[in-house]
Amino acid sequence: MKKFLAIVLAAVMALSMVSFASASSLAGEYEIKVWVADAIVDLTEAQIKRFNETNEDGITFKATIEKMGEGDAASNMVQDVEAGADIYCFAQDQLSRLLTAKALAKLGTKAAEFVTANYDADSAKSVTVDGTMYAYPLTADNGYFMYYDKSVIPDEDVDSLEKLIEDCEKAGKYFSFDLKNVWYSAGFFFGDAGCTSTWVMDADGNAKGVVDNFNSDKGLIALKGMKKLLDSDCWNSSSEVSAFESNSAIVVSGTWGSSTAKQILGDNLGVADLPSYDIDGTAYHIGSFFGFKLMGIKPQEDPVKNAALNKLAQFLTGKECSLERHASNGWGPANLEAQADEAVLNDPILAAVYAQKAYGQVQLAISGAWWNIGNVIADEAKDATDEEGLKQVLVNYENKINESLKLDANALLFVGAWNGWNNADEADTYYFKDGALTLDVPESDYMGGRIVKPADWGTDKGFAQVTTGAELIKDLGADNPDNNIVFAEPGNYTVTWDGTAITIVKN
């Protein structure tokens, strides 16, 4: 009897849902809490008001808007998700922390399609973790570049780190570059030095693996470049544009400092991408992170409210609102239509951001622990006295990553010609899930690669371990000292590693 009742109830529920679904009305009044940066509180309030008036779904939000810096949103959310905002802005580096705290609602299928279609491709990638999107891109300008005082720094010197240091030392001025924060110091490693650090994250915000080659010859070059600045008396570890007031001639900072910098320096303000440093006669351009500000929605128990919040987020990150934020605060939009707008295209500060982006690494989800591990690089490097010391810094860095993150013992990556050997952007795609991986091998001269443990480029898993499917790969004999697996033909393959042997199947 009970079972029967349950079936009837379930059927009634299902029916009622279908009947409502056809209407799928979102109409109603919702009380929400919104966290945005201080600078856009009033603007956001006006925008939400406009949303209430113009939306076609009959949604009315009674919004309480609270100011919350994008850098602080995560720590406040993590402390008490229940009391946190329903919709909030945060900087991309906090994504994994928010995932850990389960403070972000996954985007539904249609919402994800919307993001892919309407926003900057890199920004769409930056909100994706383990194949799922978690937020709407708000801005695509979270990078850093160089503000300088033209009265101290001649324009022709801005391309050379050595000359800039010399200029500052001569003038008794400071070169402010917040190297004690790895978000900035990683710039030396990215750029022309060519290091990468890309994380494979899971939906809980845990690191499953990392492709990181800071501890390499390339990393050593980067560290030598950084050391030049660290060893100079003119180095000041700050990213506050207000440092211009306390004797700095150069400040490496982001778009958020532009109005303050203009106020302090007036016509003497110069803006440029970061300089190059010279190691053994080669110039290496300093890279940077290129990050995003995102707008996330707190997980909801009510699907209707969640859907309504999605509408609001789409509106707030849409063309019109993005352009308003650009006009009032100079924020570079992530929305494609807004990016194509004249005003955005002609913005000199955004031009510096995009010039620097060419040397940047797009910031994807990164394990929260990495920031703690990386922040000490500059301190350690400053104390190092010789090349061995610098090498030790990198070894320590790698050890800490391996130890502290307790990387998934089964985490494996298949790197090779198909992803540029270390093309970290695609790390997620070449990651073994439960010991198996399906990949496309495109036509090329050398269709080879090898299975590596993230952060460990050991050559112990490769050709020699292939037990099934040996006919699909080439036997190069002595020409293959690195134990690489080289496919005979392009195609789609499934590769399985069971702990002792590799099985290859062509699909």
Partner 1 sequence: MAQLSDLEYLKLSKGRRLGYKVGRFFAKIPQATLNAFQRIGGALKSGVTAIGREAKDIVTTFVNGDWKTKLSYLVMGFGCLARGQILRGLLFLLFEIVFIGYMILSGAYWLSMMPSLGKVGPTETYDEIYDAYVHTYNDNSFQILLYSVLTIFFIIAFIYTWRVNIRQNKEAERILAAGKRLKSSKEDLHSMVDESFHKTLLSLPLTGIIIFTVLPLIFMILVAFTNYDGAHDGYISNLFHWVGLDNFNTLFSWKSASGTQSYAATFGEILSWTLMWAFFATFTNYFLGMFVAMAINKKGIKGKKLWRTILVMTIAIPQFISLLYVSKMFAKDGIVNGALMSLGWIDKALPFWEDATWARVSVILINIWIGIPYLMLMATGILMNIPADLYESARIDGANPWQQYTKITLPYMLFITGPYLLTSFIGNINNFNVIFLLTGGAPTNPAASSASGSVGYTDLLITWLFKISTGAESKYYLASVIGIMVFVVVSIIALIVYNLLPSIKNEEDFQ
383 binds partner 1 (CB under 8 A): yes
Minimum Å distance from CB 402 to partner 1? 7
Q: Report the residue from 143, 187, 205, 275 that binds partner 1 according to the rule CB under 8 A.
A: 205
Instruction: Select from 125, 47, 424, 460 the least CA-distant residue to 291.
Output: 125
CA atoms within 13 A on the CB side of 234: 22
136 binds partner 1 (CB under 8 A): no
Nearer to partner 1, 249 or 439 (CB): 249
Q: Report the residue from 1, 2, 4, 21 that binds partner 1 according to the rule CB under 8 A.
A: 21
Minimum Å distance from CB 367 to partner 1? 8
Going by their DSSP bridges, the two strands 269-272 and 145-149 should be labelled as antiparallel
397 binds partner 1 (CB under 8 A): yes
Side by side, the strands of the sheet bearing 145-149 are 235-236, 174-176, 248-253, 145-149, 269-272
Write out the H or E segment, with its range, that includes residue 155.
none
Query: What sign results for the dihedral spanned by CA atoms 364, 369, 374, 379?
Result: positive
257 binds partner 1 (CB under 8 A): no
Site for partner 1, residues 49 to 88, rule: CB under 8 A: 75, 78-79, 81-82
Instruction: Select from 452, 354, 347 the least CA-distant residue to 407.
Output: 452
303 binds partner 1 (CB under 8 A): yes
Instruction: Calculate helix-pair angle for 217-231, 182-189, nearest 10 degrees.
Output: 120
Cα(23)–Cα(17) distance, integer angstroms: 10
Interface segment toward partner 1; rule CB under 8 A; list 5-13, 33-41, 135-143, 296-304: 296-304
Write out the H or E segment, with its range, that includes residue 246.
none
Cα(134)–Cα(124) distance, integer angstroms: 10
Cβ neighbours around 406 below 10 Å, total: 10
Cβ-proximal residues to 205 (8 Å cutoff; 6+ apart), any chain: 95, 96, 97, 98, 99, 100, 101, 129, 365, 367, 368
Q: Report the residue from 399, 438, 444, 492 that binds partner 1 according to the rule CB under 8 A.
A: 399
Nearer to partner 1, 244 or 354 (CB): 244
Torsion of CA 212, 217, 219, 224, to 10 degrees: 170
236 binds partner 1 (CB under 8 A): yes
Nearer to partner 1, 118 or 139 (CB): 118
171 binds partner 1 (CB under 8 A): no
Interface segment toward partner 1; rule CB under 8 A; list 30-38, 354-362, 393-401, 489-497: 393-401
Minimum Å distance from CB 21 to partner 1? 4
Q: Report the residue from 28, 58, 299, 420 that binds partner 1 according to the rule CB under 8 A.
A: 299
Cα(19)–Cα(179) distance, integer angstroms: 59
Interface segment toward partner 1; rule CB under 8 A; list 15-23, 122-130, 143-151, 495-503: 15-23
375 binds partner 1 (CB under 8 A): yes
Interface segment toward partner 1; rule CB under 8 A; list 41-49, 302-310, 419-427, 479-487: 302-310
Nearer to partner 1, 244 or 497 (CB): 244
List of residues contacting partner 1 (CB under 8 A): 17, 20-21, 24, 26, 75, 78-79, 81-82, 97, 100-103, 105-106, 108-111, 172, 174, 176, 180, 204-206, 233, 236-238, 243, 246-248, 299-304, 306-307, 310, 368-373, 375-376, 379-380, 383, 395-405
